[in-house]
Structures are given as C-alpha cells and as structure tokens.
Amino acid sequence: MKKNSEATFPALIYLKREEIRHQWIRGTYNIHLRSSSFPGKKVTMDVHNKEKGLSRFVNSIRNSWDGLVDAVHTEDAFQQLLLATSSLIVVAISLDITKTERLLLIASCFLMLIVELLNTAIESIVDRISLELHPLSKRAKDLGGAAQLVTVVLVIIIWCAVLL
C-alpha cells in the first residue's frame, strides 16, 4: 500500500498517537503539520517511492537549506553564535598564523554552529512530543545545552592554544 504524508514544513504534529497508529494500519499515513515559519509551504513524502540519484541529492540540499534558514530566523542562540562565528572567522583570516592553525580556528567555530543546530533539533523533538514538564524532557534539553557548553569551552581552549 502507498503511504503518503502531506505536510507543511517545519511544524508540530497535531494528530493523536492513536489516530496515527490507526492510519498506519489502514495504509493511509497522512500527517498534517502546521507551520509558523513557512506558512503554506507544502511537502509531500512518499514512503515507498523514495527519490534516487541527483534529485534526491538536490532535495536533501533544499531541505537542509530550509532548516538552516529556519534556524537563522527563529533561534536567538543560533543568531548569536552566527554573529560570533562570523567575527571569529574574520579574526582568524586576518591573523598571521599557519594555514593549519587557521583551519583549526575556523573549524572549531563551525563546530559551535553544528552543535547548536543539533541542540535545537533535540529541543524541537522534545517539544513536539509534549510541552508538559517531565524529568526526561528536562534531561534531554539539559544534555543538549551541556553539549553546546562543552563545545564553547573547546573553542576557547583551541583559540587560546593557537594565539598564546
């Protein structure tokens, strides 16, 4: 059976688990999403007939770009890190250091952005599941924040090691 999902990207799922389970058994897996970031944008996914080759690669890049644009527009922490990273990259380029050191400084800055995107993804998943306060939800969010903190400390250590 063909299982399709028409959705508005990115968003929260508003179907109850029982409805989703029932639709999956019937073979009509339609999930309706609501978006605050991109209202009206439709995404259709076909579970069984996945794209292959260049079109899959192009769609993957498009989805990744949508996620990056969403993070820039909606996440304050990502905006702040993007500003800090941009400044640090300008400083790294202007320093009189070896190419290897410059690469290390720039790569560490991009690592901060990567971990922030992953932290945002974790928080989004936790919020999607439930907005109720729960110890496991708090733990997941705290661990994501801890990963970001460790990354920032690592960047500081790398920059100090190269510059001092």
Which active-site residues does the annotation give? Answer: 116
Token pair recorded at residue 156: 């500081």
Beta strands in 14-163 (DSSP E): 33-34, 42-46
How far is 19 from 38, CA to CA, in rounded Å?
25
Q: Give the Å distances, CA to CA, from 146 to 32, 54, 151, 152.
A: 33, 37, 9, 10
Q: Are 143 and 112 in contact (CB under 8 A)?
A: no
- Do 159 and 108 touch, CB atoms closer than 8 A? yes
Counting Cα atoms < 13 Å in the Cβ hemisphere of 63 gives: 13
Distance CA 48, CA 78 (A): 35
Cα separation, 158 vs 132, in Å, equals 39
Q: Which amino acid is at 150?
A: V
